[in-house]
Amino acid sequence: MRKGKLIVFEGNDGSGKTTQLFKVEKYLKEKGYKVLTTREPGGTEVGYRIRKLLLDPQYKMDGLTEALLLAADRNEHVKNVLIPAMDEGYIVLCDRYILSSVVYQGIVRGVGIENILKLNSIFEDRIKPDLYIVLTLDPEIALQRIKMAGKNDRLDLEDLEFHRRVYSGFKEVSKWFERCVNIEVQGSEKEVFEKVCCEIERLFESREK
């Protein structure tokens, strides 16, 4: 059993998951925990190059191609970042993991949930997140946030229907995926943060019993 924990932040683009991840990082460090923040894709040097390719708007690619590239990124990430950090007792906060592949490629791109789970089963066998925090925000509001931020990567430029399917996909899979909590983003950033911290504290309390 690894000494550390893996907490994954998931959700539709524009939901504020990355902002909440960094707020949690500060919160846990102030409590004295060793914390490592990372992301998928792009948490390693190889992964960074894969991320650039995946998000480049000049390239169109099939959903299975996306899934295979993400699996390659994940292999490097799990082997070189996640497992070593957890073995050293770090609380690892990861921006996206397998759940994103299930939603984006499995559901929205039509590759199939079972195919994505089969492709990623090797990673689930090696390391399992202790908690998935899934932040979801009304896709129309989320898309407005994306546009205001001036983001223009390949996924951000998808139409509203795409973002609606991503949103509903996360809502659905969070009901049956293990160790998964869905928080609908309502109210202020502080109010959302309090809900996130409540789930993390509940995780720590359950592991201490």
pLDDT tens track for 195-207: 999 999 999 987 6
To the question of whether residue 11 is assigned a binding role by annotation, the answer is yes
Q: How confident is the model at residue 178 (pLDDT cuts 50, 70, 90)?
A: confident
Domain borders along the chain are 5-208
C-beta separation of 96 from 8 below 8 A: yes
**What are the backbone angles phi and psi of residue 39, rounded to the nearest 5°?**
-155, 160
- pTM of the model as a whole: 0.94
As given in the structure block, the two tokens for residue 61 are 């690619």
Which residues face 50 on adjacent strands?
none
Please provide the distance, in angstroms rounded to a whole number, between the alpha carbons at the two ends of the chain: 16
Q: Strand (E) positions, the chain? A: 5-11, 35-39, 91-95, 131-136, 180-184
Using CB atoms within 10 Å of the CB of residue 167, give its burial: 0 to 12 exposed, 13 to 18 middle, 19+ buried: buried
pLDDT in tens, 58-114: 888 999 999 999 999 999 999 999 999 999 999 999 999 999 999 999 999 999 999
In eight-state DSSP terms, residue 208 is H
To the question of whether residue 14 is assigned a binding role by annotation, the answer is yes
At CB < 8 A and 24+ separation, what contacts does 58-65 make?
A: 59/154, 62/109, 63/105, 63/108, 63/109, 63/110, 63/111, 64/105, 64/109, 64/111, 64/115
As given in the structure block, the two tokens for residue 107 are 């559901």
To the question of whether residue 156 is assigned a binding role by annotation, the answer is no
pLDDT in tens, 122-159: 998 889 999 999 999 999 999 999 888 877 778 878 88
As given in the structure block, the two tokens for residue 78 are 């799990």
To the question of whether residue 17 is assigned a binding role by annotation, the answer is yes
Class of 5-208 in CATH? alpha beta
pLDDT in tens, 10-23: 999 999 999 999 99
From the list 206, 185, 205, the residue with the least C-alpha distance to 195 is 185
To the question of whether residue 12 is assigned a binding role by annotation, the answer is yes
